Chain A
Amino acid sequence: MLLAVGSLTAMGVALGGLLGAAARFLAVEENPLEEELKAILPGSQCGQCGYVGCGQAAAALARGEAKVTICSPGGKAVAEALAKKLGVAVDLSGHVEKGPTYAVVLEEFCVGCTKCIKECSLDAVFGANKLMHSVIVDACHGCGKCAEVCPTEAIEMRPVEKTIKTWFWSKPERTQSSLH
């Protein structure tokens, strides 16, 4: 019996030691997760997530401190891509999309100060000093920075309207009997 105990113990120690050595010497280089997460985020440094810039948000996501749904301009597409990259499950069916928005300059209030032009990291605002400013709608992704800096509150964030062309039936509701 002593032989049995002894031999099994010896095997356990030997194999355990082997595993420990492998963990140290054969360890795989960590992928630069942060870089990959940053690539998924829109990159417009809008700050809506609460972090200063997309790089910081990516770092927080990599550390597991931030939820994958923090990026509202990115919407569901970005949230799902982040979830996939981080390997977390996320139930987005209940996720109420804040809905994409776009900025509109209310011409009667615009004084031509160019603050919004300078603020926009996409160059989506068109105009010059003392001249009317307007937003190029196709280039705007609704981060809201321009609306925040405008001194006369001349910028309004409007929801992007659904069109018949982009409408589709919502997923059928789950009932108790079809709960699978």
Chain B
Amino acid sequence: MIPLQSAPFIHTANTVQKTMGTVLLALVPATVFNLYLFGLPALFLFIVTVASCVVVEAACLIVAKRPIQETLLDGSATLTGWLLAMSLPPWAPWWIGVLGAVFAIALAKQPFGGLGQNLFNPAMVARVALLISFPLAMTSWVLPHPLFSASAPGLVDAFSVTFQGQVPDAMSAASALGYVKTELSRGIPVSESIKQVPDLMDMALGYRSGSLGETSILLILAGGLFLIRRRIISWHTPVGLIGGIVVIASLFHFLDPARYASGTFHLFSGATFLGAFFIATDYVTAPVSKVGRFVFGMGCGLLTWVIRTFAGYPEGMAFAVLLMNSLTPIIDQYTRPRLFGRDRKGRPLAIQKGDRV
């Protein structure tokens, strides 16, 4: 007898590949603009990082004897590499990108079983591992030197920046968060140091130092809204994350403006928007239910603020995301929807009196 297939016999046209492709599409405007802002070294690093992720994934698949072509084509390695590149300093040396790829794919993704099985966000694992192992390389920020502008490095110079690690001292600059934190440790209150930081408009548009994903907030936001419109992500995680960080920051700023930066500062600096729309929304490592995702987003926002304010690192998004990843299973357990015909405790709904003869 022919083995028959079970219902349903029709399917949505959506596939994993299409989903990944749409996310990449949403990242393109911000990426292109930022590559323009930071010039050729950034472009080289970007290419090296993404390519390394794909190569490392292929190597892992060969070792594990899993099908190579269909797995590479699902686009998840490319997306991981892209997000990792977005979180690196744009003028970092090439080996940061390669090592990051190894950490992300060969450490945080494939050993768990590949797509869908990892517990922690691969790009964030890589970023954190690099940050802790190579703090200097990972915190050397530069101001934007747009392509075709006078201060942009030429091809040869760019090559030496990326592949020989020679960043001219004159070009380095601190990120806004880093500057505020350093000044605070020197005793200068936030309310003073904040005046030295680029204004909101510049931060929103991108003319400031930072990683590829931290600058040009508006383009990141546009990409994020596009994803929500296409129903790839829901509003719950971004609203939770942004709400979480703004509310707690504003609260503490209100209580002590000298010590705590404002909600808008926290909103527009660092990787808040990138995290809200692209990193915390990673399907695999976040809770599955809508309520769960909101809780997850809020937790990321709160933790990011805590780490930025009290911990040793100026930017806390990566750590916050990893900490919340570890809470995902328990969030899932407590945010299951109510079953039809049952109450929240699982008992059948009570019938109102007076319905029986």
Contacts and interface: CB of A to CB of B under 8 A. Distances in A.
A180 B116 contact: yes
Interface stretch (B64-72, B122-130, B336-344): B64-72
B113 A177 contact: no
A176 B61 CA distance: 12
A177 B67 contact: yes
B264 interface: no
A180 B113 contact: yes
A176 B117 contact: no
A180 B116 CA distance: 9
B116 A177 contact: no
Nearest to A172: B6
Interface in B218-241: none
Q: Give the dominant DSSP class at A's interface.
A: loop
A110 to B, nearest CB: 36
Interface string A148-180: 000000000000000000000100000011011
Interface in B183-240: none
A40 to B, nearest CB: 29
A177 B71 contact: yes
A59 B116 CA distance: 44
Interface in B104-143: 113, 116-117
Contacts of B67: 176-177
Q: Give the dominant DSSP class at B's interface.
A: loop
Interface in B64-83: 66-67, 70-71
The interface size bin for chain B is under 10
A180 B117 contact: yes
B6 A176 contact: no
B238 to A, nearest CB: 29
Contact of A179 (B6, B66, B70): B66
Contact of A177 (B6, B70, B117): B70
A45 to B, nearest CB: 38
A178 to B, nearest CB: 9
Contacts of A176: 66-67
A180 B113 CA distance: 7
Contacts of A179: 66, 113
Contacts of A177: 66-67, 70-71
Contacts of B66: 176-177, 179
Interface string B43-67: 0000000000000000000000011
A180 B112 CA distance: 10
Contacts of B113: 179-180
Contacts of B70: 177
Contacts of B117: 180
A169 B6 contact: yes
A180 B64 CA distance: 13
B127 to A, nearest CB: 26
A176 B67 CA distance: 7
Interface in A53-89: none
Contacts of A169: 6
A180 B71 CA distance: 14
A176 B66 CA distance: 7
B61 to A, nearest CB: 11
Contacts of B71: 177
A169 B7 CA distance: 11
B231 to A, nearest CB: 24
A164 B66 CA distance: 39
A66 to B, nearest CB: 34
Nearest to A178: B116
A162 to B, nearest CB: 13
Nearest to B7: A169
A175 to B, nearest CB: 9
Contacts of A180: 113, 116-117
A116 B116 CA distance: 58
A177 B117 CA distance: 12
A176 B113 CA distance: 12
A65 to B, nearest CB: 36
A120 B57 CA distance: 63
Interface string B148-166: 0000000000000000000
Given A176-B67, A179-B113, A180-B117, 5 more contacts: A169-B6, A177-B67, A177-B71, A179-B66, A180-B113
12 contacts: A169-B6, A176-B66, A176-B67, A177-B66, A177-B67, A177-B70, A177-B71, A179-B66, A179-B113, A180-B113, A180-B116, A180-B117
Shortest 5 CB-CB distances between A and B: which pairs?
Answer: A169-B6, A180-B113, A176-B67, A180-B117, A177-B67
Interface of B: 6, 66-67, 70-71, 113, 116-117
